[in-house]
Amino acid sequence: MSNTTVMNDLLETLDYEHQWNGLSTPMKMDKEELSTEVKIEKIQSHFRGIMETLGMDMTDDSLQDTPRRVAKMYVNEIFKGLNEANKPAIKLFKNAYKYKEMLVERDITVYSYCEHHFVPIIGKAHVAYISNGNVIGLSKINRLVEYYSKRPQVQERLNEQIARALKEVLKTEDVAVIVDAEHLCVKSRGIQDTASSTVTASYHGRFKNEETRKEFLTYINLNSSIR
């Protein structure tokens, strides 16, 4: 069995998302729903096969439990965003203070994994919205960022998924999201460029206006030339 086939099998055992439309994470439509423990068992077996193929001595004390550790990490931690049951419940509150300016939360930790090589994407998300009468707890913004980060990703899609989710929750188009991240698929392999980072932006509603966008970029201390 090739490593590519094994990785495809790993993804099939992790998935939960319901459709693929360019913004949703690409998932099989006819997948079999598996329990958490079954997923862990299947991934454990697959990962043991990868290690054995690489020539690792699986009787060594340091390695013998690695397949299960990796499997539990995949299902319960770094790819838990594939399980829709983990999507944060978000309660709306009335904007009692009648605050009409933008709300900005910056430097939200992004820790995701590149879906092309399964290595980390590490960075920050900067999120803003303008209330149309409702607000959400600040921590819920962080939880949404975390939820969509915890799955195999490409940064462009991650950026748009966060923005789309916020628009749906807040019932407003006035949302902006910027993600600034470093990709270990660039830093630790291939070109091995350790100095670069990638910036993606998603502007909606009033944030398409240049002055509103500049105000947002000023708050997060990014150059207003970023489009």
Residues 6+ apart with CB under 8 A from 13: 34, 38, 39, 42, 43, 46
The verdict on whether 168 is a catalytic residue reads no
| Contact by Cβ (8 Å): 212, 124 | no
The verdict on whether 183 is a catalytic residue reads yes
The verdict on whether 116 is a catalytic residue reads yes
Round to whole Å and give the CA distance between 53 and 44: 14
Q: What residues does 122 pair with on adjacent strands?
A: 111, 182
Determine which one of 17, 117, 156, 215 is catalytic: 117
Determine which one of 12, 17, 41, 115 is catalytic: 115
C-alpha distances out from residue 168 to 54, 92, 174, 175, Å = 45, 11, 11, 10
The verdict on whether 115 is a catalytic residue reads yes
Determine which one of 44, 126, 146, 155 is catalytic: 155
Determine which one of 17, 156, 185, 215 is catalytic: 185
Supply φ then ψ for residue 18, to 5 degrees: -95, -25
| Contact by Cβ (8 Å): 207, 175 | yes
Determine which one of 46, 114, 146, 160 is catalytic: 114
Determine which one of 46, 126, 183, 204 is catalytic: 183
Determine which one of 37, 84, 116, 210 is catalytic: 116
- Which region holds residue 215: left if phi is over 0, alpha if psi is between -120 and 50, else beta? alpha
The verdict on whether 117 is a catalytic residue reads yes
- Give the catalytic positions in this structure: 114-117, 155, 183, 185
